[in-house]
Structure formats: C-alpha cells, structure tokens
Chain A
Amino acid sequence: MKAFTYERASDAKAAVRAAAETPGARFIAGGTNLLDLMKLEIEQPQHLIDVSRLPMAGIEETATGGLRLGAAATNSAVSADERVRARYPVLSEAILAGGSPQLRNKASVAGNLLQRTRCAYFYDTSKPCNKRQSGSGCGALEGLNRNAAIFGASDACIATHTSDMAVALTALCADIETLTPSGDARRFPLADLHRLPGETPHIETHLIAGELITAVVLPPPPPGAQAYRKVRDRASYAGGLASVAVAGGQVALGMVAHKPWRAEAAEAALSSGASASEAIAQELAGASPLGRNDFKIPLVARLATAVITDVAGRAA
C-alpha cells in the first residue's frame, strides 16, 4: 500500500473543504472496497478523510412520506431497518444479496454507490485497463469477458457496476443529497449519479471533485409489490451475473451495464399492457452482447420475466 496521510473529519463542511484543498484526497467511510483496492495499489490516495463518524448515519422519515438514509449508515443498518423492510423490501433484499455480513456491517450507503467494478482486468495490474489507467486499452474487450456489460458499453470499457443496493435504489427512483466543495447542498436523481463509460471510463460519476454524498432520499414507495433477485455463480457472498429489482411498475437491472440500468423500454411496454416477457424483450432489443456474455440475454429475459410476473401476482 502506498503511504498516505489520514484525518478524521469533524463535520461535513470541513470534510469537503479538506477534500478540495488537499491533493489526492479521498473520502473513506467503511473502506471495504477502497482499502482492498489500496492494497492492490489500484487506488493510491495521498490523503484519506474519514467521514465514517460524521452525524449522517441516521435513517429518518421525510415530510413527503419517504425515508432519508444517511450516507454513513451501514448496509446492515439499512437492510435491518423495520421501515425499510416494510415499505422498501426490494432495498433490504438487494443489500442482503451483496457481500458478507462482516462487509455489510462496515460498508456505508454512499460507499456502496461509489464502489468500483469487479472486472478482472481492472483488478489485474499486469493487464491494460482504461478505467485503472486511462488510455492503456481494455483487456476485457477480447478477453475473458463473461461478466461484461450488455448495455451502454463502449470500445474503451465493458465493465459493469456491481452494486446490488444501487439497483434497488434505481428501481425506487431515489435521489441523492450532496455537499459540494463550496459548501452548497444539492440534490439530484440517483439515475444521474453514474456515467456510462464512453471514452472516459475512469470518470465514473457526475460528482464534482471533492463533493460528498450526504444522504440517499427515497420517495414514498410506488403502488404494488417489490422484489429483488440476483443470479450468481454460488448461492451466497458472490458478485452477480445479472439481477433485477422491481418496485410496482418500476424495473431496474444490475450487472448488465456500467451503471444500474433502469429498464425504461420494459417499463413503457408494461404500462401499455405488454406481458412481462414481451416487455423485457423490448428492453433486450437494445442489448449488445460480445460473445462470451451472450448468455446474459436469455438469463435476463427469464429472470426479469419471473420477477415481474411474481410482483404483479402479489399485487393482484
């Protein structure tokens, strides 16, 4: 691990100020992904600003009937919260499908959103990777890319976003709240947080340098049932091959793109009366598999059809 300096932030404004003023600074909360990558020297921050003890770990009701999840709340705290379990079961199920209990006890809400891809070429520092080292090329394009994206990829990067939690939050139309380096609060849809890779896969979000996520805001739950289902190579503690989150008529797919993938074509088809399988076929008409990941097309078709049908049946 490369040497770095460390400070524990006293408040959020001091944290963003320090991030703006210190070269190579990064925020750290649970650190379960960042420290792993620092050990591999894939991440090499010069300065860590610990935000894990800032007073933003609470979960509270909003005035409009939603919930505000503090950015530093642990994944375990969110998945076990009775309000989350009762009103946003898709979110609890998604979190519990990710990582191990030990990781979820440390990992934060914001850290989960900002976790890096698990693409094997990103992790292997002997291979080119435009995300790890901009301009070095993509080893996965013609490599072992079984788990690569089928939506929204580019010639520069075919990696996927691997969060389970973010897929559920996308289906729930969550917003995020941030603090900019100048100390201003802003709020925007989670759907606008992550970028598609384009030619700059090393730039993964629309956050300003030094901007701190302070909360995730859930709107009131949509009418209808909710469910999350993930397919992976073993039954527990494994990254996904594909996942689907359904909340009423809102559908998001996981591990199929550089960001949580809102299935807008499928939602539109469903709202105009299409069957679940017809609707997901509409979505998959826009997919671009690469050969080794062709299996994700029938996998997503069957997975999403099953979950959408299940949720519709439970709501009836």
Chain B
Amino acid sequence: MRTTITVNGEARSLDLDPRTTLLDTLREHLKLTGAKKGCDHGQCGACTVLVNGVRINSCLSLAVAHDGDEVVSIEGVGTVETLHPVQQAFLTHDAFQCGYCTPGQICSTLGMLDELAAGWPSQETAPGAAPVFNDAEIRERMSGNICRCSAYPQIVAAIKDAREAMA
C-alpha cells in the first residue's frame, strides 16, 4: 500500500505490505536504525518514537495506519555537532551502559516532558492536583522503557538536568 509518512521533517513515500510495523518501516525500509527492536511486543519501550508529537511504541503500530503522520525518531533529535539537551544530559550522567534502550529512553523523555507540561496526571499524581516534577513521577512516567543494564538512577538524574537545561 502506498503510504506517505513525514519522518524527521522529510516526506517519505513507500509501497508497504500492510503488515509492516512503523518500527520495521523506519529500520528496514528507511534504514533509520536508531529506534530499536527489543521485544517487538510493546513491553520494553526501545522502539519509542514521537508520532504527531506523542510518544508511542512503533513496534505496535502499522505503518499504513500512520499515512500522513509526522514521525520523529532519535535521528531527528539534535545533531552530532549540537546534541539535544536530553542527549547531552544522558552523556553527562552516563545514563546507559550498553546503549540499546537509549534512543527509546530519549524519545520517551521528550514525550514525557510535554505530557508533564500539559498537566497530564500519572498514578503518582495526587487526585485532582497538577503533577509535580519529582523522582517518583519521572520513574512512573518512564516505566514503559526498560533498561536491562539498570541505569535507572542515572536516567532519572539526566532527565532532571535536561528539564532544567530546556527551561
């Protein structure tokens, strides 16, 4: 099926089998291998990308269902010369070991910070109250991204720093 998706600002038109996930479209058809295939079942978060500004699991999305959408993968975040503040904070805090989950962690962080700014609650948010930015909220909101090297303390520290840098 002819499908056109804007990926990192560039319209890409592809002829895809309807079975193709958004993740496989990025990795296999567009050779954007930043988003990772960890579990391929929405359990690990390594495939997280932003679609129309919202973070989703690209492994649990059919590309044909995203015709006309705007996708941002890790390749569209910062540049090698000028890292995005979230990327810089992950480096500064050594917020990874093997790095496999990192593209998903960073894309998820970007989505999460927007959700927080919009006042979306989590289960750590007091009923009826606006969310506060603290460790418990970060951990809860990032629970869809698994890090098997268990760099969680550094990831939380990086996210806190990045938010300050972006303010």
A50 — which chain B residues lie within 8 A by C-beta? 64-65
Task: Check if A103 sits within 8 Å of B19, measured CB to CB.
Answer: no
Within B105-128, the residues touching A (CB, 8 Å) are 108, 111-112, 115, 118-123, 125, 127-128
B115 — which chain A residues lie within 8 A by C-beta? 76, 80, 101
Stretch of A86-94, A124-132, A166-174, A256-264 on the interface side: A86-94
Task: Check if B65 sits within 8 Å of A28, measured CB to CB.
Answer: yes
Task: Check if B62 sits within 8 Å of A35, measured CB to CB.
Answer: yes
A102 — which chain B residues lie within 8 A by C-beta? 42, 45, 48, 55-57, 108, 111, 144
Q: Closest Cβ of chain A: how far from B123's Cβ, in Å?
A: 4
Task: Check if B127 sits within 8 Å of A93, measured CB to CB.
Answer: yes
Which single residue of chain B is at the shortest CB-CB distance from A94?
Answer: B123
Which single residue of chain B is at the shortest CB-CB distance from A89?
Answer: B127
Task: Check if A6 sits within 8 Å of B140, measured CB to CB.
Answer: no
Question: Looking at the complex, which one of A36, A85, A237 makes contact with B60 (CB distance below 8 Å)?
Answer: A36
What are the interface flags for A30-67 relative to B under an 8 Å C-beta threshold, 1 for contact and 0 otherwise?
01100110010000000010101000000000000000
Q: Is B161 interfacial (CB 8 A cutoff)?
A: no
Q: Closest Cβ of chain B: how far from A11's Cβ, in Å?
A: 17
Question: Looking at the complex, which one of A3, A5, A39, A97 makes contact with B123 (CB distance below 8 Å)?
Answer: A97
A62 to B56, CA, bound (A): 31
Task: Check if A105 sits within 8 Å of B61, measured CB to CB.
Answer: no
Instruction: Given the known inter-chain contacts A4-B19, A86-B128, A89-B127, please indicate yes or no for A35 contacting B60, CB distance below 8 A.
Output: yes
Q: Count A-B contacts at CB 8 Å.
A: 103
A48 — which chain B residues lie within 8 A by C-beta? 18, 62
What are the interface flags for B120-147 relative to A under an 8 Å C-beta threshold, 1 for contact and 0 otherwise?
1111010110000000000111011000
Task: Name the interface size band of chain B.
Answer: 35 or more
Q: Is A106 interfacial (CB 8 A cutoff)?
A: yes
A8 — which chain B residues lie within 8 A by C-beta? 65, 67
A124 to B57, CA, bound (A): 23
Q: Is B54 interfacial (CB 8 A cutoff)?
A: yes
Within B50-86, the residues touching A (CB, 8 Å) are 54-57, 60-62, 64-65, 67
Task: Check if A92 sits within 8 Å of B62, measured CB to CB.
Answer: no
Q: Is A79 interfacial (CB 8 A cutoff)?
A: yes
Question: Looking at the complex, which one of B40, B139, B144 makes contact with A103 (CB distance below 8 Å)?
Answer: B144
Q: Is A182 interfacial (CB 8 A cutoff)?
A: no
Question: Looking at the complex, which one of B64, B111, B123 makes contact with A236 (CB distance below 8 Å)?
Answer: B123
A296 to B151, CA, bound (A): 34
Beyond A76-B115, A102-B45, A102-B55, 7 extra complex contacts between A and B, CB < 8 Å: A5-B18, A52-B65, A80-B121, A85-B127, A100-B42, A100-B143, A106-B61
A-B contact pairs, 27 of them (CB 8 A): A3-B18, A4-B18, A6-B1, A6-B18, A6-B62, A28-B62, A35-B60, A35-B61, A39-B40, A39-B41, A50-B65, A79-B120, A80-B118, A85-B127, A89-B127, A93-B127, A96-B121, A101-B108, A101-B111, A102-B45, A102-B56, A102-B108, A103-B42, A103-B60, A106-B57, A236-B123, A237-B144
Chain A residues close to B by CB (< 8 Å) = 1, 3-6, 8, 28, 31-32, 35-36, 39, 48, 50, 52, 76, 79-80, 85-86, 89, 92-93, 96-97, 99-103, 105-106, 236-237
Chain B residues close to A by CB (< 8 Å) = 1, 17-19, 21, 40-42, 45, 48, 54-57, 60-62, 64-65, 67, 108, 111-112, 115, 118-123, 125, 127-128, 139-141, 143-144
